[in-house]
Structure 1
Amino acid sequence: MRLGFVGAGRMGRPMVQRLVGADHRVKVLVRSGAAKAALESDGATAVPTLADVADGAEAVLICVHTDEQVKEVAPGLIDAMRPGALLILHTTGSPATADALGDRIEVIDAPVSGGPHDILAGHITLLVGGASEAVERARPIFRSYGDPILHVGGRGNGQRVKLINNALFAANIGLLAAAVDLGAQLGVTEEALLTALPQGSANSYALGGVARAGSVGTFARAAGEFVGKDVAVVRQVVAELGGDLGALAAAHQALADLLPEHARALARSSR
């Protein structure tokens, strides 16, 4: 397929590499010489403007860092996209963004769960929201780097499921911090807990990451930037819908106590 791509960074570049490897023709927005050389060595075509990215593309993928950046680049892309083309949002953000953009073009929101190594291995989890026909058209793209590809409902539901996933992930880290504190009260070291708990019924994806990192604090600091951003988004979305995070909020506060630099985003989820 003929594809456009915006946001070939930490997560986006391995997507581009996998797309090229699957014989898709990919044009990537590039505004620096070093990035141009790197992406062209991957087999992509580097272009300087959003109009160039969208020109002739059957689908355009956005994988920038924030929802605000999506709102900055999407209008220019949509104006230049051909009728019937797909706009695919991999950035984690508000469901309202996908809904608003979908007034003008077919939009699929497909936030990911995993890291660059999962993309390179072809096993990043994709949480996909959109019309069934559009999602089926996008599957040849998603199969280049995604497995499983989970169609979780209409447009915006990919974001909703991803935000709940990340709220729960953040809460799990906070609960692990509370468990380590309980261990200290009972005379059990964190090292002993992280050796034993992954072998029992308390095991989880978060616990596995913490055990590999060696401590809750080390893992939380490594994940803090991304977790803090996504918790702030879910807090905002839940507030707009008149809901609350319930028991998740207290666990977020325990995580905030570990991460002073991200405490504002995390702690506000408890309100």
Structure 2
Amino acid sequence: MKVGFVGAGRMGTPMVQRLLAADHEVVVLGRSEDKRAELTELGATAVGVATDVADADVVIVCVFTDEQVRELCADDGGGLLAAMRPGSVLVVHTTGSPQTTATLAEAGAARDVGVLDAPVSGGPHDIAAGQLTLYLGGAEDAVAKARPALESYGDPVVHVGPAGSGQKMKLINNALFAAQIGLVAEAAKLADRLGIDESAALNALPHGSGASKAMGNIARAGSTAGFIAAVGEFIGKDVAVVRQTAAELGADLGRLDPLVDAGLGR
């Protein structure tokens, strides 16, 4: 399968490596000569213009912000959607607004281009192991076309509903994750009040029934403050989007709200 790729950074580069290892033909955007040389050395075809990745079966976008997605994928002469061939699929890994996905999906349908929102849960180590979690929103046929590429680095690849559903699920996941960080932070405060050092508590708690993935990550970081400092920017971005999205749909975070704030160190 021929795969176009934009966003070969901290997360995107190991995705490219897994795609190549699975014998896909990969064309990747490199913004600088050094980056293009690095990508070529991996075995990819490196290009300097985003639309040069568009002549592919699947085009994957893995950039940082929703605004970057809108700029890259714009349905005009300078955007990816306009340059993609009929029958191909655009996959967006960036966590952002479900409305952005809906707009792209509508524009894609007019051009016979499938659009999947496919935000991820995990990090570079999960990608390297082929165990990144993907939440997919979009049509069944588009999912089927993109699955061989996505399964190069994703397991599980979970189709949760129509366009926008993947973003909603990721935002719910990250709100819950932030709330779990908040719970661990409150548990650490309780431990301190009871005379137990935080490091001792974090060494013991992952082995009990109150364990969670968030707690395991915090234990490895050594403290709740250290973990929040490391991930707060990324989680905070997603929490801001889920609050905005919930408000637009007439909902809120309910009892998760104060715990989410605690998980962000507020």
TM-score interval for Structure 1 and Structure 2 normalised by the shorter chain: over 0.9
Aligned mates of 1:175, 1:153 — CA distance in 2: 30
TM-superposed deviation, 1:216:
0.7
Hey, which bits of structure 1, 4+ residues long, moved more than 2 A?
Answer: none
Over aligned residue pairs, what C-alpha RMSD do you find? 1.1
Structure 2 stretches of 5 or more lacking a match? 109-113
1:149 pairs with one of 151, 157, 163: 157
TM alignment of 1:78-227, pairs within 5 A? 78-105=81-108, 106-227=114-235
TM-superposed deviation, 1:192:
2.1
Match of 2:7 in 1: 7
Aligned mates of 1:185, 1:92 — CA distance in 2: 38
Match of 1:40 in 2: 40
TM-superposed deviation, 1:39:
0.4
SS where residue 31 of structure 1 aligns?
coil
TM-superposed deviation, 1:53:
1.2
SS where residue 92 of structure 1 aligns?
coil
TM-superposed deviation, 1:64:
0.2
Are residue 60 (structure 1) and residue 59 (structure 2) matched? Answer: yes
- 8 Å Cα contact 2:136-2:160 kept in structure 1: yes
Letter in 2 for 1:70: V
SS where residue 90 of structure 2 aligns?
strand
TM alignment of 1:66-77, pairs within 5 A? 66-75=65-74, 76-77=79-80
2:263 pairs with one of 255, 262, 266: 255
* Per-residue CA distance 1:119-144 (angstroms, 9 max, x = gap): 11111111111111110111101111
Fraction of identical pairs, as percent:
59
Q: Is the deviation greater in 246-255 or in 68-77?
A: 246-255
* Per-residue CA distance 1:28-65 (angstroms, 9 max, x = gap): 111201101110011111112122111x2111100000
Are residue 49 (structure 1) and residue 52 (structure 2) matched? Answer: no
TM-superposed deviation, 1:214:
1.0
Match of 1:20 in 2: 20
TM-superposed deviation, 1:203:
0.2
TM-superposed deviation, 1:229:
0.8
Structure number with the higher helix fraction is 1
Structure 1 stretches of 5 or more lacking a match? 264-271
SS where residue 150 of structure 1 aligns?
strand
What TM-score, normalized to structure 2? 0.94
* Per-residue CA distance 1:170-213 (angstroms, 9 max, x = gap): 11111111111112222222122112211111000000011111
Aligned mates of 1:131, 1:107 — CA distance in 2: 8
Aligned mates of 1:49, 1:195 — CA distance in 2: 49
* Per-residue CA distance 1:203-246 (angstroms, 9 max, x = gap): 00000011111111111111111111111111111111110101
Letter in 1 for 2:99: A
* Per-residue CA distance 1:7-47 (angstroms, 9 max, x = gap): 11010111111111111111111120110111001111111
Match of 2:111 in 1: none
What TM-score, normalized to structure 1? 0.92
Letter in 1 for 2:70: K
Aligned mates of 1:253, 1:139 — CA distance in 2: 36
SS where residue 88 of structure 1 aligns?
strand
Aligned mates of 1:227, 1:220 — CA distance in 2: 9
- 8 Å Cα contact 2:32-2:48 kept in structure 1: no
Aligned mates of 1:120, 1:171 — CA distance in 2: 27
SS where residue 156 of structure 2 aligns?
strand
Aligned mates of 2:230, 2:245 — CA distance in 1: 25
